[in-house]
Structure 1
Amino acid sequence: MAGELALAFIAIALLAWAVIDGRYVDLSAIVPEVSGPRDVVSTSFSLCAGAGGTCVIDGDTIRIADIDTPEVRDYRCPEEKALGDRATRRMLELVNAGAFTMALWDHRDEDQYGRKLRVLWRDGQSLGMILVAEGLARPWDGARRSWCA
């Protein structure tokens, strides 16, 4: 059963990637306009071990604004934690693959918690939407939903 579930998940992720990458769906309806100046980022990131530094964890300082990812700290079930860890590792790979730009999202600089809201771009593609295509995130629609079955 677990093998069949894993195979189904992989098939869905590949299908989503093909549909988005092949431009068969228009994501502009769910991804707000990116505006303002774009900052080019070219540095090496690591997983966070504590506060500070250039590291990737859970959006405490800069929130990748176009996606909703599973929680890795205040998760509600083991599956959410496992998927959140995979999303974190994958985003770490993506940001370390080369320079990218950070742009304002939906004309907002910060959220209600003071986190900077940014969309990460490389070669005209949102790094967040890569996670969506791979089944590791959802497009941000303004509401958090459960990652647990």
Structure 2
Amino acid sequence: MRYVLEGLLIAAAAAGGWLLATPHGEMPVMAPHGAAETAAARTFGFCHSGGGIDCVVDGDTFWMDGTKIRVADIDAPETHPPRCAEEERLGNAATQRLRALLNAGPVTLVTADRDTDQYGRALRIVTRDGKSLGAQLVSEGLARRWTGRRQPWC
């Protein structure tokens, strides 16, 4: 996976993390325990099965350049399989919205507190212009903030 890093990484004393500061003075992004990489704009489709190049699996998982990425700061409703009709409705809406957000322009991937999860997915906070796409999904009622464990949607 090849990314172009835009900006400077500056060590931050708070929380042992990093601050991503851009040369244009935009709002810094906290990147706990990791670095940030900016990915060029691309077109995402939907993953119907297996891996992919640039496609969205569900509301908190997508493939980019052959790497499976889990949006680290949220938990979205399940779609494979949903546990009830409401989870299916919300999960499908979250999947479509994540695709739209990813297709809206370049994103910055910030390494979370761990590089990968128990399933081998890269854990990343996905941002654009210093704002979390996960937080956007939460504000729209399509996901919850990640608290360290899943909670039921039914």
Q: Are 1:86 and 2:84 counterparts?
A: no
For residues 97-127 of structure 1, what are the alpha-carbon distances to aligned partners after superposition, in whole Å with 9 as ceiling and x for unaligned? 0111001012x10011111100101111000
C-alpha separation between the residues in 2 aligned to 1:69 and 1:92?
13
Aligned-residue RMSD, C-alpha: 1.6
Residue from 36, 39, 49 that aligns with 1:38: 36
Secondary structure of the residue that 1:57 maps to in structure 2?
A: strand
Instruction: Say if 2:84 is the partner of 1:111.
Output: no
1:121 to 119, 123, 127: 127
Return the TM-score normalized by structure 1. 0.73
Cα separation, 2, equivalents of 1:104 and 1:33: 6
Structure number with the bigger relative contact order (C-alpha 8 A, sep ≥ 6) is 1
Tell me, which stretches of 5 or more residues in structure 2 are unaligned?
1-29, 63-67
Is it true that 1:62 corresponds to 2:60 in the alignment?
no
Unaligned runs of 5+ in 1: 1-31
1:143, CA displacement in angstroms?
Answer: 1.1
SS of 1:74's partner is: coil
1:50-104 residue CA offsets vs partner (Å, 9 max, x unmatched): 3222100132721001000000112110110110000010010101001110010
Contact 2:31/2:110 (<8 A) preserved:
no
Q: What displacement does 1:33 show?
A: 5.2
Contact 1:68/1:140 (8 A) holds in 2:
yes
Letter of the 1:80 counterpart: E
3-state SS in 2 of match to 1:39:
strand
Within 1, Cα distance between the matches of 2:88 and 2:45? Answer: 19
Measured at CA, do residues 88 and 125 of structure 1 come closer, stay the same or move farther in structure 2, by a change above 3 Å? same
Quick check: which one's helix share is greater? 1
Tell me, yes or no, if structure 1 residue 146 matches structure 2 residue 152.
yes
| 8 Å Cα contact 1:35-1:103 kept in structure 2 | no
| More deviation, 115-124/49-58 | 49-58
